[in-house]
Amino acid sequence: MNKTVDQLRAEEKDWEANEVAQFLKKQAERKTQFFTLGDIPVKRTYTAADLAETPEEDIGLPGRYPFTRAPYPTMYRSRNWTMRQIAGFGTGEDTNVRFKYLIAQGQTGISTDFDMPTLMGYDSDHPMSDGEVGREGVAIDTLADMEALLDGIDLEKISVSLTINPSAWILLAMYIVLAEKRGYDLNKLSGTVQADILKEYMAQKEFIFPVTPSVRLVRDCITHCAKTMKRYNPINISGYHISEAGASPLHEAAFTLANLIVYVEEVLKTGMQVDEFAPRLAFFFVCQADFFEEVAKFRALRRCYAKIMKERFGAKNPESMRLRFHCQTAAASLTKPQYMINVVRTGMQALSAVLGGCQSLHTNGYDEAFAIPTEDAMRMALRTQQIIAEETNVTQVIDPLGGSYFVESLTTEYEKRIFDILKEIEDRGGTLKLIEEGWFQKQIADFAYETALRKQSGEKPVIGVNRFVDGTPDPKIHTHPYDKSTAERQIARTKRVRAERDPKLMAELLEKLKTVAADDSQNIMPVTIELVRAGATMGDIIETLKTVWGTYRETPVF
């Protein structure tokens, strides 16, 4: 017969008073209290009594509401997660070579890193772009660049993720025109554009326009894709950058869902029904060092999302309630000293993503504490995923940590705390108001500062930095070189496109863009598609819109 919760608690108390107490007399524990990386206290051990607050139906089954265990009923037994290493440097041609290399190495999806000018909407020959063209990602000014980037890649077989935000809709328009030119059926193409602007104001700090028109651009991507690209993810609502900017895992989770709520509300205002677009909402989270906390975080996120979509937004279609996410190992956890140990860190983090049920995964290169990764570092990172997928057998059973007293208890704790934070955000006046006030930014900065102090004191061990520091020099590392001819090659093509296009048509379309921009009820995608097809540059579009919407400058908090 099963013991009651009271009996279990009494037994645990008895154990504490006897076995534990006696043992502690012989040997004290390392610390008086233990916490997760996100500062949640953890007990010595967990029992079935700790599941008392978790109703059985909240745990449930894979692929069934509330999707705690997995978004799909068969998961990696059918198909492994998509191995999606991000890449981007130089021109479209340069990155295309890396893409093809990664595909040849067994990668199953591609993800594009853009250079800072592209991310911020500047053409490669703008003064602000000096030194930045093709440096930290690939330079894209026009459709011609996009064509070079994706040359020879079968878009029906390989899904493409565009990791870009304030200028995302322009890249989406380029992708659409390219797909049309190549004769693809848009409804068959799968892929993702990140287009999550709110976390930019909070964390990653790539923004161009004020918040209101920026959110409208996101709304326009979502509604346009819902109508014309049935399999495409028009947004990747991201906690990753919130975490990398210094937030706790709990804040990463809660702030991401706060952003979700804003986007859903904006789309609903257009009259679209939640089930018409919610199935294509996608997410992106970090997997970082605290193994079980990360697994619990992913499980709690799925449960919270399901409840929000069903209870708050009245979704009826289960597909609107299942959270799908891309995951990336934590770049901020990588160290320069003893850099090869980054492979181990990344491997552990990747395993938490897989046990947490991710849909796609990027593993970082061991050299990313120096520069953007080399081909060699990316191959090692990809092999790490392939080992998890093919050698460890962790893919055979769905949610293998489900039912763990600790993981289930932490999952429920996460759910509770996430909903508490969402309520606090609402009580304080809502996400958009708090972004303008710098509230999120302050929460993130506080935890980042705390983390820096904990690393300094050694309370947060970092091997090679504050623990097991080794005086012997590391082997010489060969970092990714920057090709100094990049800007010249890139600018030459942009100038050619400008010279070859029809200036009259361009002027007309830019006028039309202004009209559409000024009318919030219109969708900006169709005119943007016309513009990129006619040879508009990123800068043409962005600079025109700055005259309508102005720009955003944050008031920094520290």
Partner 1 sequence: MSQPIRVLLAKVGLDGHDRGVRVVARTLRDAGMDVIYSGLHRTPEEVVSAAIQEDVDILGVSLLSGVQLTVFPKIFKLLAEKGVSDMIIVAGGVMPDEDVVELKNMGVHEVMLQDTPPDAIVKTLTRLVTERGPR
Residue 438 lies near partner 1 (rule: CB under 8 A): no
Q: Annotate each residue in 66-85 with x if it binds partner 1 (CB under 8 A) or - if it does not, as one string.
A: --------------------
- Name residue 99's amino acid: F
Mark the segment that binds partner 1 (CB under 8 A) among 186-194, 406-414, 449-457, 493-501: 449-457
Contact between 444 and 245 under an 8 Å Cβ cutoff? The reply is yes
Q: Is 53 in the site for partner 1 (CB under 8 A)?
A: no
Least separation in angstroms between residue 462's CB and partner 1 is 7
Considering the rule CB under 8 A, would residue 408 count as an interface residue with partner 1?
A: no
Q: Does 98 bind partner 1 (CB under 8 A)?
A: no
Q: Nearer to partner 1 by C-beta: 267 or 334?
A: 334
Residues numbered 133-162 forming contacts with partner 1, rule: CB under 8 A: 135-136
CB nearer to partner 1: pick between 70 and 116:
116
Q: Tokens representing 167?
A: 């200028």
| Residue 539 near partner 1 by CB under 8 A | no
Nearest-approach distance from CB 533 to partner 1, in angstroms: 27
Residues 297 and 257: their CA atoms lie apart, in Å, by: 12
Closest CA to 283 of 321, 241, 244, 236: 236
Q: In sequence order, which residues have a C-beta less than 8 Å from that of residue 99 and are 6 or more positions away?
A: 87, 110, 149, 153
Q: Is 340 in the site for partner 1 (CB under 8 A)?
A: no
Q: Is residue 122 close enough to count as binding partner 1 by CB under 8 A?
A: yes
Find all residues with CB under 8 Å of 406, minimum gap 6, and list them: 42, 45, 46, 50, 292
Q: Kindly determine how many residues on this chain lie close enough to bind partner 1 according to the rule CB under 8 A.
A: 46
> DSSP code of 42?
E
**Minimal distance in Å, beta carbon 122 to partner 1?**
7
- Cα–Cα distance measured from residue 529 to residue 522, given in angstroms and rounded to the nearest whole number: 14
Question: Which residues lie closer than 8 Å to 298 by C-beta, 6 or more apart?
Answer: 285, 325, 327, 353, 356, 357, 358
Q: Is residue 200 a contact residue for partner 1 (CB under 8 A)?
A: yes
The C-alpha atoms of residue 356 and residue 353 are separated, in whole angstroms, by 5
Select the residue interacting with partner 1 from 120, 218, 353, 510 (CB under 8 A).
Answer: 120
- Residue 284 is a binding residue for partner 1 (CB under 8 A): no
For the bound state, the minimum distance from the C-beta of residue 451 to partner 1, rounded and expressed in Å, comes to 8
The tokens describing 524, both together, are 């900006």
Residue type at 346 in one-letter notation: T
Q: How far is the CB of 286 from partner 1 (least distance, A)?
A: 13
Q: How far is the CB of 465 from partner 1 (least distance, A)?
A: 5
The C-alpha atoms of residue 388 and residue 394 are separated, in whole angstroms, by: 7
SS (H, E, C) 353-377: HHHCCCCEEECCCCCCCCCCCCHHH
61 forms part of the interface with partner 1 (CB under 8 A): no
Q: Helix, strand or coil for residue 244?
A: helix
Q: What is the contact surface with partner 1 in residues (CB under 8 A)?
A: 116-117, 119-120, 122, 128-132, 135-136, 200, 204-206, 244-246, 332, 335-336, 369-372, 444-445, 448-449, 452-453, 455-456, 462, 465-466, 477, 479, 482, 553-558
